[in-house]
Structure 1
């Protein structure tokens, strides 16, 4: 299935043979360490920068069927973010993974994002629109 929207993601997760838990890592755009004047200028114009993970959570698809639910929940933390990276963790035996089982995969996602290895994840902006990032 070609995922072109957040709704497509939820639909695809529900179609899997085993229940899924969605993994979200929220990141904030910032200037990279040792930035140049050009990088600073571009960043101030809304271009470039580095994405630093600031928050993560695992949710069942039904808990976040609408992207606005995710935005409202995240805003209650007081932590600002720009991009949500999303992956899925499949269950087994008809049961979705629990939050404890999602801890290590979330940690690995965070480490990949910090290392710029983002190709395996879907990325959404705060409006719930898919965005293409180069890593």
Structure 2
């Protein structure tokens, strides 16, 4: 299934035979430490920058009717964010993933984002649309 929007992600997760947990890491885009003049100019023009994770959460597809709900819940924490990375974690034998597995997966996502290795996650803008980012 082609995931072009948050609704597509929800539909895909709900259609899986095993229980799913959706994993989300919210991030801001910041200037890198000691930016060059080119990096600063690109950042000010809305291109480039470093990804900085600010918070994360997991949800079952049943807990999340739409993207607006996720945005509303995120705003309760008072952290600004520019994009959210999503991934899914599948359960086994009809059981949802264990909390420890969820925590480890979220930690790996945060580390991957910090390292620029974002290829295995789906980035969404604040409107629930998939973003095309450069990253491995």
Taking only aligned residues, the RMSD between alpha carbons, in angstroms, comes to 1.1
The answer to which of 38-47 and 25-34 deviates more is 38-47
In the TM superposition, what whole-angstrom CA distance separates every residue of 1:69-90 from its partner, at most 9, and x where no partner exists?
A: 0101001100011110000000
Task: Tell me how far 1:98 sits from its aligned partner.
Answer: 4.5
For the 8 Å contact 1:58–1:99, the answer to whether it is kept is no
The answer to which of 23-32 and 98-107 deviates more is 98-107
Q: Distance in 1 between matches of 2:74 and 2:43?
A: 24
For the 8 Å contact 1:23–1:56, the answer to whether it is kept is yes
Once the two structures are superposed, the pairs formed by residues 77-92 of structure 1 within 5 Å of their partners are 77-92=77-92
Equivalent residue, structure 2, for 1:23: 23
Q: Distance in 2 between matches of 1:97 and 1:63?
A: 15
Task: Tell me how far 1:99 sits from its aligned partner.
Answer: 3.8
TM-score, structure 2 length as denominator? Answer: 0.94
Q: Distance in 2 between matches of 1:57 and 1:95?
A: 19
Task: Tell me how far 1:53 sits from its aligned partner.
Answer: 0.6
Q: Distance in 2 between matches of 1:29 and 1:64?
A: 25
The answer to which of 115-124 and 36-45 deviates more is 36-45
**Gaps spanning 5+ residues in structure 2: where?**
none
Count of equivalent residues: 135
Equivalent residue, structure 2, for 1:11: 11
**Gaps spanning 5+ residues in structure 1: where?**
none
Equivalent residue, structure 1, for 2:37: 37
